[in-house]
Structure 1
Amino acid sequence: MSPWTHHPKNIDKGCRKPLTSAPPPSEEQLNKIFNRYDTNGDGHLSWEELKSAYSILGMSFPGLRALKALCVADENRDGYISQKEFIKLTRKKYGK
Protein backbone atom coordinates (compact mmCIF):
# COMPACT_ATOMS: atom_id res chain seq x y z
CA MET A 1 0.00 0.00 0.00
CA SER A 2 1.26 3.44 -0.87
CA PRO A 3 2.29 5.69 2.05
CA TRP A 4 0.16 8.47 0.55
CA THR A 5 -3.07 6.47 0.56
CA HIS A 6 -4.39 8.01 3.78
CA HIS A 7 -3.15 11.55 3.18
CA PRO A 8 -6.04 14.07 3.42
CA LYS A 9 -5.42 15.29 -0.14
CA ASN A 10 -6.07 11.77 -1.41
CA ILE A 11 -9.52 11.43 0.14
CA ASP A 12 -12.23 10.93 -2.46
CA LYS A 13 -14.34 14.10 -2.57
CA GLY A 14 -17.21 12.18 -4.14
CA CYS A 15 -17.85 9.91 -1.17
CA ARG A 16 -21.36 9.34 0.12
CA LYS A 17 -22.95 11.84 2.45
CA PRO A 18 -23.03 10.95 6.13
CA LEU A 19 -26.11 9.11 7.35
CA THR A 20 -27.25 12.16 9.30
CA SER A 21 -28.11 13.91 6.04
CA ALA A 22 -30.43 11.09 5.00
CA PRO A 23 -34.14 11.86 5.20
CA PRO A 24 -35.80 10.67 8.39
CA PRO A 25 -37.52 7.28 8.18
CA SER A 26 -41.29 7.26 7.84
CA GLU A 27 -43.49 6.04 10.68
CA GLU A 28 -44.16 2.87 8.66
CA GLN A 29 -40.42 2.24 8.33
CA LEU A 30 -39.91 2.85 12.06
CA ASN A 31 -42.69 0.39 12.88
CA LYS A 32 -41.08 -2.26 10.66
CA ILE A 33 -37.69 -1.72 12.32
CA PHE A 34 -39.25 -1.93 15.78
CA ASN A 35 -41.19 -5.09 14.96
CA ARG A 36 -38.11 -6.75 13.48
CA TYR A 37 -36.26 -6.54 16.79
CA ASP A 38 -39.29 -7.08 19.06
CA THR A 39 -38.70 -10.81 18.77
CA ASN A 40 -41.34 -11.92 21.29
CA GLY A 41 -43.97 -9.56 19.85
CA ASP A 42 -44.94 -7.97 23.17
CA GLY A 43 -44.74 -4.41 21.84
CA HIS A 44 -41.65 -3.54 23.88
CA LEU A 45 -37.91 -3.81 23.36
CA SER A 46 -36.17 -5.42 26.31
CA TRP A 47 -32.49 -5.17 27.14
CA GLU A 48 -31.99 -8.62 25.61
CA GLU A 49 -33.76 -7.64 22.37
CA LEU A 50 -31.79 -4.39 22.15
CA LYS A 51 -28.53 -6.23 22.78
CA SER A 52 -29.40 -8.73 20.06
CA ALA A 53 -30.31 -5.91 17.65
CA TYR A 54 -26.99 -4.13 18.21
CA SER A 55 -25.16 -7.42 17.81
CA ILE A 56 -26.98 -8.20 14.54
CA LEU A 57 -26.05 -4.73 13.29
CA GLY A 58 -22.39 -5.52 14.02
CA MET A 59 -21.95 -2.85 16.66
CA SER A 60 -19.29 -3.15 19.33
CA PHE A 61 -20.31 -3.52 22.98
CA PRO A 62 -23.96 -4.39 22.26
CA GLY A 63 -24.80 -4.86 25.94
CA LEU A 64 -23.56 -1.41 26.89
CA ARG A 65 -25.32 0.17 23.91
CA ALA A 66 -28.55 -1.55 24.93
CA LEU A 67 -28.20 -0.21 28.47
CA LYS A 68 -27.56 3.31 27.17
CA ALA A 69 -30.58 3.08 24.86
CA LEU A 70 -32.76 2.11 27.81
CA CYS A 71 -31.41 4.96 29.92
CA VAL A 72 -32.13 7.48 27.16
CA ALA A 73 -35.42 6.23 25.70
CA ASP A 74 -37.26 4.50 28.55
CA GLU A 75 -39.27 7.52 29.70
CA ASN A 76 -41.60 5.67 32.09
CA ARG A 77 -38.72 3.64 33.60
CA ASP A 78 -40.43 0.27 33.19
CA GLY A 79 -37.24 -1.35 31.86
CA TYR A 80 -38.44 -1.53 28.25
CA ILE A 81 -38.63 0.73 25.21
CA SER A 82 -42.19 0.91 23.90
CA GLN A 83 -42.96 1.49 20.26
CA LYS A 84 -44.03 5.05 21.12
CA GLU A 85 -40.74 5.69 22.98
CA PHE A 86 -38.77 4.20 20.07
CA ILE A 87 -40.47 6.45 17.52
CA LYS A 88 -40.06 9.51 19.74
CA LEU A 89 -36.35 8.79 20.24
CA THR A 90 -35.77 8.26 16.52
CA ARG A 91 -37.59 11.46 15.57
CA LYS A 92 -35.59 13.37 18.16
CA LYS A 93 -32.41 11.97 16.63
CA TYR A 94 -33.46 13.43 13.26
CA GLY A 95 -34.59 16.72 14.77
CA LYS A 96 -38.29 16.14 14.06
Structure 2
Amino acid sequence: MAPAACNYGFTWHDKIEHFFAFFVLALLLDFSFPGKPFNLLKAAVLLLYGTGIEVVQLFVPCRDCSVIDLLADVLGIALYLFSIPLIKLFPVLKYRWEE
Protein backbone atom coordinates (compact mmCIF):
# COMPACT_ATOMS: atom_id res chain seq x y z
CA MET A 1 0.00 0.00 0.00
CA ALA A 2 1.37 3.44 -0.95
CA PRO A 3 1.74 6.11 1.75
CA ALA A 4 -1.01 8.70 1.91
CA ALA A 5 -0.43 12.06 0.27
CA CYS A 6 0.68 14.74 2.70
CA ASN A 7 -0.31 17.90 0.86
CA TYR A 8 -2.36 19.90 3.36
CA GLY A 9 -2.41 23.07 1.30
CA PHE A 10 -1.84 26.59 2.57
CA THR A 11 -3.17 27.35 6.03
CA TRP A 12 -3.03 30.63 7.92
CA HIS A 13 -3.07 29.11 11.39
CA ASP A 14 0.45 27.77 10.84
CA LYS A 15 1.72 31.23 9.90
CA ILE A 16 0.00 32.81 12.91
CA GLU A 17 1.65 30.21 15.15
CA HIS A 18 5.06 31.05 13.66
CA PHE A 19 4.38 34.76 14.17
CA PHE A 20 3.49 34.47 17.86
CA ALA A 21 6.12 31.81 18.57
CA PHE A 22 8.90 34.08 17.34
CA PHE A 23 7.45 37.06 19.21
CA VAL A 24 7.68 35.00 22.42
CA LEU A 25 11.14 33.66 21.51
CA ALA A 26 12.35 37.24 20.95
CA LEU A 27 10.96 38.29 24.33
CA LEU A 28 12.57 35.30 26.08
CA LEU A 29 15.91 35.83 24.35
CA ASP A 30 15.88 39.53 25.21
CA PHE A 31 14.99 38.91 28.86
CA SER A 32 17.68 36.20 29.08
CA PHE A 33 20.38 38.82 28.50
CA PRO A 34 19.09 41.93 30.30
CA GLY A 35 22.42 43.74 30.13
CA LYS A 36 22.27 43.85 26.34
CA PRO A 37 19.65 45.65 24.25
CA PHE A 38 17.58 43.79 21.67
CA ASN A 39 19.77 44.31 18.65
CA LEU A 40 20.58 42.89 15.24
CA LEU A 41 22.61 40.05 16.76
CA LYS A 42 19.68 38.77 18.83
CA ALA A 43 17.35 39.09 15.84
CA ALA A 44 19.87 37.29 13.60
CA VAL A 45 20.19 34.41 16.08
CA LEU A 46 16.42 33.96 16.04
CA LEU A 47 16.27 34.19 12.26
CA LEU A 48 19.06 31.63 11.95
CA TYR A 49 17.11 29.34 14.28
CA GLY A 50 13.97 29.77 12.16
CA THR A 51 15.92 29.10 8.98
CA GLY A 52 17.41 25.97 10.52
CA ILE A 53 13.96 24.69 11.41
CA GLU A 54 12.79 25.23 7.84
CA VAL A 55 15.86 23.50 6.35
CA VAL A 56 15.41 20.48 8.63
CA GLN A 57 11.81 20.19 7.42
CA LEU A 58 13.14 19.49 3.92
CA PHE A 59 14.15 16.06 5.22
CA VAL A 60 11.01 15.27 7.24
CA PRO A 61 8.15 13.45 5.50
CA CYS A 62 4.95 15.49 5.15
CA ARG A 63 6.76 18.74 6.01
CA ASP A 64 8.08 21.45 3.72
CA CYS A 65 10.44 24.40 3.79
CA SER A 66 8.44 27.61 3.49
CA VAL A 67 9.63 31.14 2.84
CA ILE A 68 6.26 32.34 4.12
CA ASP A 69 7.02 30.67 7.46
CA LEU A 70 10.31 32.59 7.57
CA LEU A 71 8.44 35.81 6.79
CA ALA A 72 6.07 35.10 9.70
CA ASP A 73 9.14 34.53 11.91
CA VAL A 74 10.62 37.89 10.86
CA LEU A 75 7.32 39.67 11.48
CA GLY A 76 7.08 38.14 14.96
CA ILE A 77 10.59 39.35 15.77
CA ALA A 78 9.75 42.81 14.37
CA LEU A 79 6.56 42.97 16.45
CA TYR A 80 8.60 42.34 19.59
CA LEU A 81 11.08 45.05 18.61
CA PHE A 82 8.33 47.60 18.01
CA SER A 83 6.38 46.60 21.13
CA ILE A 84 9.28 47.18 23.54
CA PRO A 85 8.00 50.71 24.45
CA LEU A 86 4.61 49.19 25.35
CA ILE A 87 6.17 46.34 27.31
CA LYS A 88 8.12 48.89 29.35
CA LEU A 89 4.79 50.23 30.64
CA PHE A 90 4.07 46.98 32.53
CA PRO A 91 5.54 47.32 36.04
CA VAL A 92 6.24 43.60 36.30
CA LEU A 93 8.28 43.62 33.06
CA LYS A 94 9.99 47.01 33.00
CA TYR A 95 12.75 45.82 35.37
CA ARG A 96 14.48 44.36 32.32
CA TRP A 97 15.47 47.86 31.16
CA GLU A 98 16.23 49.37 34.56
CA GLU A 99 19.83 49.98 35.53
TM-score (norm 2): 0.31
Task: With the length of structure 1 as denominator, give the TM-score of the two structures.
Answer: 0.32
Greater percentage in helix: 2
Structure with higher RCO (Cα < 8 A, 6+ apart): 2
Instruction: Give the number of the structure whose residues are more often strand, by fraction.
Output: 1
